[in-house]
Structure 1
Amino acid sequence: MKTSGSAVWSGGIKDGRGAISTASGALQAAPYGFASRFEGKPGTNPEELIGAAHAGCFTMALSLILGEAGLTAEKMETKAEVTLDKVGDGFAITAIHLDLQAKIPGADKARFEELANKAKVGCPVSKVLNTNITLTATLL
């Protein structure tokens, strides 16, 4: 399987404007720029998209792992907080914290945490990211 995302950019780093899209069309020409990336202004940014991809991948991987353990989630909600820090002459994603809240009938806390950690380590997005990934998993 292969998929893709794309970006266009015009202008300099601070005054320029860009747009990010996905091949599926689910995200079409979403605006991004210096202000949305570093100043909290409206628009998206690469780190936010990595966070969404990581949250989605992790949660889906956990669904598979739960199914293999004979469990089915009633609801799982994951937020991925991506930390972008200045490192040397540039910037780097230095950490991602996954915050999972889940309602899983029949799951006990210890087994739930074990399975959630297995998903954290095993999901494809976790595997590609070379950063510190932490997890808080709350069973509701």
Structure 2
Amino acid sequence: MKRTANAHWSGTIKEGKGTITTQSNILNQTNYSFKTRFVGEETGTNPEELLAAAHAGCFTMAVSAALTEKGFAPLSLDTVATVTMEHLSITSVHLSITGSVADIDAEGFEAITKGAEQNCLISQVLRIPISSEAQLLS
């Protein structure tokens, strides 16, 4: 399987603008720029936000797979991925998941999420510290 995304850029780094389009067209000429990345003055995305979205999705699916494999039925799982960038380097990702899962205790849920933290495909390709926290909803 291969997935693609296209990026287009015109202009200088600070004044230029670009667009990102994904193979599925879910992002279709979506704006990105220096301002969307570092200043926040324009509507659009940035690479760090896209990385956070990819990691949140991958991690959540990995948690669901691990729960299912162990015989638990997840009712809902919600993850926030926070990508931290310092001095033009991505320094960490923190994954915060809340879940509603029948017949599991908080310790079991956390153990499964810790495994997914290290083993989801996006986590495996990153060479930065990755952390997570889990909250089981009653």
What TM-score does the superposition give when structure 2 sets the normalisation length?
0.96
Q: Deviations over 1:12-61 (max 9, x none)?
A: 00100000111111111110001100012321000000000000000001
SS across alignment from 2:74: coil
Residue 135 of structure 1 pairs with residue 132 of structure 2: yes
Structure 2 Cα separation of the partners of residues 126 and 21 of structure 1: 23
Size of the aligned set, in residue pairs, is 136
2:114 partner SS: helix
Residue identity in the other structure for 2:36: S
Instruction: Using the aligned pairs only, state the percent identity.
Output: 44
Could you say which residue in structure 1 is the equivalent of 2:37?
Answer: 37
Aligned equivalents of 1:62, 1:40: Cα separation in 2: 32
Residue 28 of structure 1 aligns to a residue whose secondary structure is coil
Residue type of the alignment partner of 1:28:
N
**Which amino acid counterpart does residue 75 of structure 1 have in structure 2?**
S
Match of 1:74, SS?
A: strand
Q: Which residue of 2 aligns with 1:114?
A: 111
Amino acid at match of 1:64: A
Question: Equivalent residue for 2:100?
Answer: 103
Counterpart residue number, 1:67: 68
Q: CA RMSD in A?
A: 0.7
Quote the residue 2:11 is aligned against.
11
Structure 1 runs not aligned, ≥5 long:
none
Spell out structure 1 runs of 4+ moving beyond 6 A: none
Instruction: Give the TM-score, by structure 1 length.
Output: 0.95
Deviation at 1:92, TM superposition (A): 1.1
TM superposition shift of 1:102: 0.6
In 1, distance between residues paired with 2:38 and 2:65? 36
